[in-house]
Structure 1
Amino acid sequence: MATTNQEREKRIAVERIVGFAKQFGEAHLNLACHAAFPLVLTPDLLYQIWATFIPETPWAAVARVLLSRLCRQVGYEMYEMDIPVRNLLLRELKEQFGQQRLEELGAFLIDYVAQQLTEYDPATQDLREAQEWTALAYTQPAEAGRKLAEVLSETVKGENIDKLKELSARWLS
Protein backbone atom coordinates (compact mmCIF):
# COMPACT_ATOMS: atom_id res chain seq x y z
CA MET A 1 0.00 0.00 0.00
CA ALA A 2 1.49 3.31 -1.04
CA THR A 3 1.59 6.06 1.53
CA THR A 4 0.54 9.56 0.71
CA ASN A 5 2.86 12.53 1.04
CA GLN A 6 0.86 13.71 4.05
CA GLU A 7 1.20 10.33 5.80
CA ARG A 8 4.93 10.27 5.08
CA GLU A 9 5.39 13.81 6.40
CA LYS A 10 3.49 12.95 9.58
CA ARG A 11 5.57 9.79 10.10
CA ILE A 12 8.78 11.80 9.69
CA ALA A 13 7.47 14.43 12.11
CA VAL A 14 6.67 11.77 14.70
CA GLU A 15 10.13 10.22 14.29
CA ARG A 16 11.81 13.61 14.78
CA ILE A 17 9.78 14.43 17.89
CA VAL A 18 10.26 10.99 19.44
CA GLY A 19 13.98 11.09 18.68
CA PHE A 20 14.29 14.53 20.25
CA ALA A 21 12.38 13.43 23.36
CA LYS A 22 14.50 10.28 23.72
CA GLN A 23 17.73 12.24 23.37
CA PHE A 24 16.88 15.18 25.66
CA GLY A 25 13.90 14.22 27.83
CA GLU A 26 10.50 15.56 28.78
CA ALA A 27 11.61 19.02 29.92
CA HIS A 28 13.17 19.72 26.53
CA LEU A 29 10.08 18.35 24.79
CA ASN A 30 7.93 20.77 26.82
CA LEU A 31 10.04 23.66 25.55
CA ALA A 32 9.74 22.34 21.99
CA CYS A 33 5.95 22.29 22.39
CA HIS A 34 5.99 25.92 23.49
CA ALA A 35 8.39 26.77 20.64
CA ALA A 36 5.80 25.48 18.16
CA PHE A 37 3.41 28.33 18.98
CA PRO A 38 5.09 31.20 17.06
CA LEU A 39 5.40 30.85 13.29
CA VAL A 40 9.00 32.03 13.37
CA LEU A 41 11.47 31.65 16.21
CA THR A 42 14.52 33.63 17.15
CA PRO A 43 16.94 32.72 19.93
CA ASP A 44 15.70 35.72 21.92
CA LEU A 45 12.02 34.83 21.48
CA LEU A 46 12.60 31.22 22.51
CA TYR A 47 14.71 32.30 25.48
CA GLN A 48 11.87 34.62 26.58
CA ILE A 49 9.34 31.78 26.21
CA TRP A 50 11.62 29.56 28.29
CA ALA A 51 12.08 32.19 31.03
CA THR A 52 8.37 33.06 31.15
CA PHE A 53 6.71 29.66 30.89
CA ILE A 54 9.08 26.82 31.79
CA PRO A 55 12.21 28.12 33.54
CA GLU A 56 12.63 24.77 35.28
CA THR A 57 13.85 23.39 31.95
CA PRO A 58 17.65 23.65 31.56
CA TRP A 59 18.54 26.88 29.73
CA ALA A 60 20.61 24.92 27.22
CA ALA A 61 17.33 23.53 25.89
CA VAL A 62 16.84 26.77 23.95
CA ALA A 63 19.84 26.05 21.73
CA ARG A 64 19.04 22.33 21.56
CA VAL A 65 15.54 23.01 20.23
CA LEU A 66 16.70 25.53 17.63
CA LEU A 67 19.58 23.36 16.42
CA SER A 68 17.59 20.11 16.43
CA ARG A 69 15.86 18.44 13.52
CA LEU A 70 12.61 19.99 14.78
CA CYS A 71 13.63 23.39 13.37
CA ARG A 72 15.30 24.73 10.29
CA GLN A 73 17.06 28.02 9.82
CA VAL A 74 15.23 30.32 7.40
CA GLY A 75 17.24 33.52 7.88
CA TYR A 76 19.76 35.15 10.15
CA GLU A 77 18.83 33.95 13.65
CA MET A 78 15.38 32.94 12.35
CA TYR A 79 14.02 29.41 12.59
CA GLU A 80 10.77 27.68 11.81
CA MET A 81 9.26 24.24 12.22
CA ASP A 82 7.79 22.15 9.43
CA ILE A 83 4.00 22.22 9.58
CA PRO A 84 3.56 18.52 10.55
CA VAL A 85 6.11 18.87 13.40
CA ARG A 86 4.52 22.11 14.54
CA ASN A 87 0.99 20.67 14.49
CA LEU A 88 1.95 17.60 16.52
CA LEU A 89 3.81 19.70 19.09
CA LEU A 90 0.91 22.14 19.38
CA ARG A 91 -1.47 19.24 19.96
CA GLU A 92 0.84 17.96 22.70
CA LEU A 93 1.09 21.47 24.19
CA LYS A 94 -2.69 21.72 24.44
CA GLU A 95 -2.99 18.23 25.94
CA GLN A 96 -0.26 18.83 28.53
CA PHE A 97 -0.93 22.46 29.45
CA GLY A 98 -4.51 23.18 28.29
CA GLN A 99 -6.19 25.95 26.31
CA GLN A 100 -5.24 28.45 29.01
CA ARG A 101 -1.55 28.05 28.10
CA LEU A 102 -2.32 28.73 24.43
CA GLU A 103 -4.09 31.93 25.46
CA GLU A 104 -1.15 32.92 27.67
CA LEU A 105 1.26 32.27 24.82
CA GLY A 106 -0.93 34.32 22.50
CA ALA A 107 -0.94 37.31 24.84
CA PHE A 108 2.81 36.91 25.39
CA LEU A 109 3.51 36.76 21.63
CA ILE A 110 1.44 39.87 20.91
CA ASP A 111 3.31 41.79 23.64
CA TYR A 112 6.66 40.46 22.45
CA VAL A 113 6.20 41.49 18.82
CA ALA A 114 4.88 44.91 19.85
CA GLN A 115 8.09 45.50 21.83
CA GLN A 116 10.63 43.79 19.60
CA LEU A 117 9.43 44.18 16.03
CA THR A 118 9.28 47.95 15.83
CA GLU A 119 11.25 48.57 12.62
CA TYR A 120 9.29 49.93 9.70
CA ASP A 121 10.80 47.88 6.91
CA PRO A 122 8.31 45.64 5.06
CA ALA A 123 9.93 42.35 6.15
CA THR A 124 9.72 43.24 9.84
CA GLN A 125 6.14 44.42 9.48
CA ASP A 126 5.18 41.20 7.64
CA LEU A 127 6.76 39.10 10.41
CA ARG A 128 4.99 41.11 13.09
CA GLU A 129 1.67 40.72 11.29
CA ALA A 130 2.15 36.97 10.83
CA GLN A 131 2.99 36.48 14.53
CA GLU A 132 -0.03 38.56 15.58
CA TRP A 133 -2.35 36.57 13.28
CA THR A 134 -0.97 33.35 14.73
CA ALA A 135 -1.64 34.49 18.29
CA LEU A 136 -5.18 35.58 17.39
CA ALA A 137 -5.97 32.36 15.52
CA TYR A 138 -5.17 30.23 18.57
CA THR A 139 -6.57 32.48 21.27
CA GLN A 140 -9.46 34.36 19.66
CA PRO A 141 -10.47 32.49 16.51
CA ALA A 142 -13.70 34.46 16.04
CA GLU A 143 -11.79 37.75 16.26
CA ALA A 144 -9.15 36.43 13.83
CA GLY A 145 -11.89 35.44 11.39
CA ARG A 146 -13.57 38.84 11.69
CA LYS A 147 -10.29 40.68 11.09
CA LEU A 148 -9.38 38.45 8.17
CA ALA A 149 -12.78 39.05 6.57
CA GLU A 150 -12.31 42.80 7.10
CA VAL A 151 -8.87 42.78 5.47
CA LEU A 152 -10.14 40.70 2.53
CA SER A 153 -13.15 42.97 2.08
CA GLU A 154 -10.99 46.11 2.07
CA THR A 155 -8.55 44.48 -0.34
CA VAL A 156 -11.31 43.45 -2.76
CA LYS A 157 -13.00 46.87 -2.57
CA GLY A 158 -9.69 48.57 -3.29
CA GLU A 159 -9.07 46.17 -6.14
CA ASN A 160 -5.61 45.52 -4.74
CA ILE A 161 -4.99 42.32 -6.67
CA ASP A 162 -1.36 41.99 -5.55
CA LYS A 163 -2.39 42.21 -1.88
CA LEU A 164 -5.21 39.71 -2.47
CA LYS A 165 -2.78 37.26 -4.09
CA GLU A 166 -0.36 37.73 -1.17
CA LEU A 167 -3.11 37.06 1.40
CA SER A 168 -4.34 34.05 -0.54
CA ALA A 169 -0.87 32.58 -0.75
CA ARG A 170 -0.24 33.16 2.96
CA TRP A 171 -3.53 31.68 4.19
CA LEU A 172 -4.07 28.91 1.67
CA SER A 173 -0.59 27.42 1.64
Structure 2
Amino acid sequence: MNVKTTSRLKVISLVALLIVLFVGALLYVPKSKSDLDCTADIHLTMDSNEEKLDARIHLVVHFVPDARSYITEYGVVNYGDKRYIVDRYVRLRYSDDSNHAFVEFQREGIDKNSGETLPEFLSQKLTSAQKVFFFKVRKLHNEIWSISDLRRTVLVCAKTE
Protein backbone atom coordinates (compact mmCIF):
# COMPACT_ATOMS: atom_id res chain seq x y z
CA MET A 1 0.00 0.00 0.00
CA ASN A 2 1.16 3.46 -0.67
CA VAL A 3 1.01 6.42 1.74
CA LYS A 4 -2.15 7.97 0.20
CA THR A 5 -4.13 4.74 0.55
CA THR A 6 -3.04 4.26 4.16
CA SER A 7 -3.93 7.86 5.00
CA ARG A 8 -7.37 7.51 3.37
CA LEU A 9 -8.04 4.27 5.26
CA LYS A 10 -7.17 5.99 8.56
CA VAL A 11 -9.52 8.88 7.79
CA ILE A 12 -12.34 6.56 6.73
CA SER A 13 -11.80 4.42 9.85
CA LEU A 14 -11.88 7.50 12.09
CA VAL A 15 -15.09 8.81 10.45
CA ALA A 16 -16.72 5.37 10.76
CA LEU A 17 -15.71 5.19 14.43
CA LEU A 18 -17.18 8.65 15.12
CA ILE A 19 -20.45 7.68 13.41
CA VAL A 20 -20.65 4.45 15.45
CA LEU A 21 -19.99 6.40 18.68
CA PHE A 22 -22.65 8.98 17.80
CA VAL A 23 -25.26 6.32 16.98
CA GLY A 24 -24.32 4.43 20.15
CA ALA A 25 -24.77 7.59 22.23
CA LEU A 26 -28.20 8.18 20.68
CA LEU A 27 -29.23 4.61 21.46
CA TYR A 28 -27.87 4.87 25.02
CA VAL A 29 -29.97 7.92 25.94
CA PRO A 30 -33.25 6.48 27.20
CA LYS A 31 -36.52 7.67 25.80
CA SER A 32 -38.98 9.28 28.18
CA LYS A 33 -41.18 6.16 28.12
CA SER A 34 -40.02 5.14 31.57
CA ASP A 35 -40.88 6.58 34.95
CA LEU A 36 -38.62 9.27 36.30
CA ASP A 37 -38.16 9.69 40.04
CA CYS A 38 -35.62 12.23 41.20
CA THR A 39 -34.99 15.00 43.71
CA ALA A 40 -33.60 18.51 43.47
CA ASP A 41 -32.93 21.46 45.75
CA ILE A 42 -33.62 25.02 44.67
CA HIS A 43 -32.16 28.13 46.23
CA LEU A 44 -33.76 31.27 44.80
CA THR A 45 -32.97 34.87 45.71
CA MET A 46 -34.95 37.80 44.30
CA ASP A 47 -34.09 41.32 45.37
CA SER A 48 -36.36 44.16 44.30
CA ASN A 49 -36.64 47.72 45.51
CA GLU A 50 -39.45 46.67 47.84
CA GLU A 51 -38.41 43.47 49.61
CA LYS A 52 -35.90 40.65 49.37
CA LEU A 53 -37.17 37.12 48.75
CA ASP A 54 -35.01 34.12 49.66
CA ALA A 55 -36.35 30.59 49.05
CA ARG A 56 -34.91 27.17 49.76
CA ILE A 57 -37.21 24.49 48.37
CA HIS A 58 -36.73 20.72 48.05
CA LEU A 59 -38.46 19.02 45.09
CA VAL A 60 -39.42 15.38 44.70
CA VAL A 61 -40.27 14.68 41.05
CA HIS A 62 -42.31 11.69 39.87
CA PHE A 63 -43.09 11.60 36.14
CA VAL A 64 -45.04 8.74 34.56
CA PRO A 65 -46.04 8.97 30.87
CA ASP A 66 -49.79 9.18 30.23
CA ALA A 67 -50.63 8.98 33.94
CA ARG A 68 -50.81 11.32 36.92
CA SER A 69 -47.41 12.74 37.71
CA TYR A 70 -46.46 15.07 40.50
CA ILE A 71 -43.85 17.35 42.00
CA THR A 72 -43.81 17.64 45.78
CA GLU A 73 -42.39 20.95 47.02
CA TYR A 74 -41.44 21.73 50.59
CA GLY A 75 -39.16 24.29 52.12
CA VAL A 76 -38.90 27.82 53.46
CA VAL A 77 -39.43 31.24 51.91
CA ASN A 78 -38.11 34.35 53.67
CA TYR A 79 -39.76 37.54 52.50
CA GLY A 80 -38.95 40.80 54.21
CA ASP A 81 -38.67 39.93 57.87
CA LYS A 82 -41.15 37.02 57.75
CA ARG A 83 -40.61 33.30 57.24
CA TYR A 84 -43.14 31.11 55.40
CA ILE A 85 -43.44 27.35 54.95
CA VAL A 86 -43.95 25.82 51.48
CA ASP A 87 -45.64 22.41 51.59
CA ARG A 88 -47.49 21.56 48.38
CA TYR A 89 -48.17 18.96 45.76
CA VAL A 90 -48.31 19.92 42.05
CA ARG A 91 -50.38 17.52 39.93
CA LEU A 92 -49.19 17.07 36.32
CA ARG A 93 -49.98 14.89 33.36
CA TYR A 94 -47.67 14.45 30.44
CA SER A 95 -47.93 12.72 27.16
CA ASP A 96 -44.98 10.96 25.62
CA ASP A 97 -46.41 11.79 22.19
CA SER A 98 -43.89 14.57 21.61
CA ASN A 99 -42.94 16.73 18.68
CA HIS A 100 -39.30 17.67 18.13
CA ALA A 101 -38.22 15.75 21.26
CA PHE A 102 -40.23 18.06 23.56
CA VAL A 103 -42.84 16.58 25.86
CA GLU A 104 -46.10 18.34 26.69
CA PHE A 105 -46.80 18.72 30.40
CA GLN A 106 -50.22 19.90 31.60
CA ARG A 107 -50.56 21.23 35.12
CA GLU A 108 -53.79 19.91 36.61
CA GLY A 109 -53.57 21.79 39.87
CA ILE A 110 -51.71 22.63 43.05
CA ASP A 111 -52.78 21.11 46.35
CA LYS A 112 -51.49 22.92 49.44
CA ASN A 113 -50.97 20.89 52.59
CA SER A 114 -52.21 22.22 55.93
CA GLY A 115 -48.67 23.16 57.00
CA GLU A 116 -48.19 25.68 54.19
CA THR A 117 -48.16 29.30 55.35
CA LEU A 118 -47.05 30.96 52.07
CA PRO A 119 -49.47 33.78 51.13
CA GLU A 120 -51.06 33.67 47.68
CA PHE A 121 -49.26 36.79 46.38
CA LEU A 122 -45.86 35.15 47.08
CA SER A 123 -47.04 31.88 45.58
CA GLN A 124 -47.86 33.74 42.37
CA LYS A 125 -44.34 35.22 42.30
CA LEU A 126 -42.82 31.74 42.50
CA THR A 127 -45.25 29.84 40.26
CA SER A 128 -46.01 30.36 36.58
CA ALA A 129 -49.63 30.95 35.59
CA GLN A 130 -49.11 28.74 32.54
CA LYS A 131 -51.08 25.49 32.39
CA VAL A 132 -49.17 23.81 29.51
CA PHE A 133 -45.38 23.46 29.34
CA PHE A 134 -43.07 21.91 26.74
CA PHE A 135 -39.94 20.31 28.17
CA LYS A 136 -37.15 18.07 26.99
CA VAL A 137 -36.27 15.33 29.49
CA ARG A 138 -32.74 14.00 29.01
CA LYS A 139 -30.43 11.71 30.91
CA LEU A 140 -27.12 13.50 31.48
CA HIS A 141 -24.99 10.99 33.35
CA ASN A 142 -25.71 7.84 35.32
CA GLU A 143 -28.89 8.78 37.20
CA ILE A 144 -28.79 12.55 36.69
CA TRP A 145 -31.55 14.06 34.54
CA SER A 146 -32.03 17.44 32.90
CA ILE A 147 -35.41 19.01 32.25
CA SER A 148 -35.20 21.98 29.90
CA ASP A 149 -37.41 24.24 27.83
CA LEU A 150 -36.52 25.96 24.57
CA ARG A 151 -34.04 28.40 26.09
CA ARG A 152 -32.57 26.97 29.28
CA THR A 153 -32.30 24.11 31.72
CA VAL A 154 -35.18 24.37 34.16
CA LEU A 155 -34.22 21.59 36.54
CA VAL A 156 -31.41 19.10 37.06
CA CYS A 157 -32.27 16.26 39.39
CA ALA A 158 -30.74 13.03 40.64
CA LYS A 159 -32.58 9.72 40.71
CA THR A 160 -33.70 8.54 44.12
CA GLU A 161 -33.99 4.97 45.32
Fold match by TM threshold 0.5: no
| Structure 1 or 2: more strand by fraction | 2
Shorter-chain TM band: under 0.3
When normalised by structure 1's length, the TM-score is 0.24
More relative contact order, 1 or 2 (CA 8 Å, 6+ apart): 1
| Bigger helix share | 1
